[in-house]
Amino acid sequence: MSEPIAVLFSPVTLGDITLKNRLAMAPMTRARSPERVPTDSVVQYYAQRAGAGLIITEATQISTQGTGSIATPGIHTPQQIAGWQRVTDAVHQHGGKIICQIWHVGRVSHASFQQDNQAPVSSSDIHGEVNTFTAAGFERTTPPRALALEEIPGVIADYRQAALNAIAAGFDGVQIHAASGYLIDQFLRDGCNRRQDAYGGSVANRCRFLLEVSDAVIGAVGAGRTSVRLSPFTVTWDCSDSDPQPLFTHAARELDKRNLAFLEIVERGFESIAATSEAQANGTFQPNDIRQAYSGRLMVNGGYQPEDAARAISSGYAEAVSIGRPYLSTPDYAQRVAAGAALNEDVDMLAWYGGGDEGYIDQPALEG
């Protein structure tokens, strides 16, 4: 192992979770759970990647209402909890740590996924140029309706229960998915949130839902097992904000008060079907602005190479770095970095968001 990257393989404690190295596996939707319950292949997929310091699961819906795409798993039924228990057991048997990313998609859904074919919900009834995967293919979402004020506590309770379910399934913690244009992001950003009540208008009001969800989850499973993911610098699923800097610095300052296990920041994205722009129009807003607002434990994500990740750690900027796409093709990514070995070739993009075992669990590890 070269000296510059050795820091990546030092242990670190994030809240109540101790990592054997600083390379986390980022959450990535794979859509391999056709019945919404993790399958044998899902168990194998995560066990193969237990060499990561921490695995953050694919986004996992907290309710039927929170569902937005085919073959994504949930964490709100006994069958789902039992399915995830098999995953966590396998990861722990291979010496890994794993947390569950809990998710409500909001308007990124279709009536076919909703009870009685109802409209999806969002912060407001803003449809946007949004598509999702349904049984009919990649199609336009159903126009959403705004959550009524009296409905919001019930959705917050669903997040809380999902967190409890995740701990019951053996996860080491949870991550609240507040990024990438899904429900919490739809409350945060004024391009989606046109509410006139306590959850809309001012920055503080638009952050209210995020903070109430965070407090509910912390109250259920503890701050040391709770993390949050934000994506201040990307626009996904047509969910934008006119002035992201004050919005996300306020959110970071408020989350800093809660002593999370860690905050994960997506610094930049890559071209995909979800992203309409890789950067906000305001070019003066930089990741270091979040670091200045947030003094707690930070995980960063954004196409990091090992040398860049090592600099982020050794400089004190971040405690850990999450790695996405390389973990699709190279299940033993951390071991390869430590050994200075080449990675596998990229997985075909057609296998990212669904299919069978090809491009999912058939990628070889270094030893053969």
* CATH classification at residue 247: 3.20.20.70
- What distance in Å separates the CA atoms of residue 95 and residue 213, rounded to the nearest whole number? 31
Average pLDDT over residues 165-177: 99
Residue 362: inside a domain, yes or no?
Answer: no
Q: Looking at residue 284, what is its pLDDT?
A: 84
Tokens of 277: 């722009």
Residue 361: inside a domain, yes or no?
Answer: no
- Give the angle 246-206-276 at the CA atoms, nearest 5°: 75
Q: Looking at residue 224, what is its pLDDT?
A: 98
Find the domain containing 286 and state its range: 3-351
Q: How far is CA 196 from the centre of its chain?
A: 29
Binned at pLDDT 50, 70 and 90, residue 213 comes out as very high
- What distance in Å separates the CA atoms of residue 358 and residue 155, rounded to the nearest whole number? 36
> Does residue 145 surpass a pLDDT of 60?
yes
Residue 334: inside a domain, yes or no?
Answer: yes
Residue 250: inside a domain, yes or no?
Answer: yes
Average pLDDT over residues 196-218: 98
Binned at pLDDT 50, 70 and 90, residue 25 comes out as very high
Residue 368: inside a domain, yes or no?
Answer: no
> Does residue 316 surpass a pLDDT of 70?
yes
- What distance in Å separates the CA atoms of residue 207 and residue 188, rounded to the nearest whole number? 6
Q: Looking at residue 270, what is its pLDDT?
A: 55
Q: Looking at residue 367, what is its pLDDT?
A: 74
The helix-helix angle for 78-93 and 152-168 (nearest 10°) equals 40
Is 124 within 8 Å of 252 (Cβ atoms)?
no
Is 221 within 8 Å of 164 (Cβ atoms)?
yes
pLDDT tens digits, 53-86: 999 999 999 999 999 999 999 999 999 999 999 9
> Does residue 36 surpass a pLDDT of 90?
yes
Q: Looking at residue 283, what is its pLDDT?
A: 60
> Does residue 28 surpass a pLDDT of 70?
yes
Give pTM, 2 decimals.
0.96
- The Cβ of residue 114 has, within 10 Å, a number of other Cβ atoms equal to 18
- What distance in Å separates the CA atoms of residue 23 and residue 4, rounded to the nearest whole number? 15
Q: Looking at residue 282, what is its pLDDT?
A: 47
> Does residue 276 surpass a pLDDT of 90?
no
Residues in contact with 25: Cβ distance below 8 Å, sequence separation at least 6, in sequence order:
49, 52, 54, 55, 56, 322, 323, 324, 327, 333
- The Cβ of residue 318 has, within 10 Å, a number of other Cβ atoms equal to 25
> Does residue 2 surpass a pLDDT of 80?
no
- What distance in Å separates the CA atoms of residue 57 and residue 349, rounded to the nearest whole number? 19
DSSP state of 344: P
Residue 358: inside a domain, yes or no?
Answer: no
pLDDT tens digits, 92-115: 999 999 999 999 999 999 999 999
- The Cβ of residue 153 has, within 10 Å, a number of other Cβ atoms equal to 11
Is 188 within 8 Å of 207 (Cβ atoms)?
yes
Residues in contact with 281: Cβ distance below 8 Å, sequence separation at least 6, in sequence order:
none
- What distance in Å separates the CA atoms of residue 356 and residue 224, rounded to the nearest whole number? 36
Residue 148: inside a domain, yes or no?
Answer: yes
- DSSP per-residue string spanning 236-283: ETTB--S-HHHHHHHHHHHHHTTT-SEEEEE------SSEEESS-S-T
> Does residue 280 surpass a pLDDT of 70?
no
The count of domains in the chain is 1
- What distance in Å separates the CA atoms of residue 132 and residue 114, rounded to the nearest whole number? 14
H-only helix segments in the chain? 40-48, 78-93, 152-168, 183-188, 203-221, 244-256, 287-293, 306-314, 326-329, 333-339
pLDDT tens digits, 242-273: 999 999 999 999 999 999 999 999 998 654 44
HSE-up of residue 253 (Cα within 13 Å, Cβ side): 11
Summary mean pLDDT of the chain: 94
Residue 367: inside a domain, yes or no?
Answer: no
- DSSP per-residue string spanning 172-192: SEEEEE--TTSHHHHHH-TTT
Measuring CA to CA, which residue among 330, 329, 332, 310 is closest to residue 321?
A: 310
Binned at pLDDT 50, 70 and 90, residue 37 comes out as very high
Residue 134, H or E segment: strand 131-134
> Does residue 277 surpass a pLDDT of 80?
no
Residues in the chain: 368
Q: Looking at residue 42, what is its pLDDT?
A: 98
DSSP state of 100: E
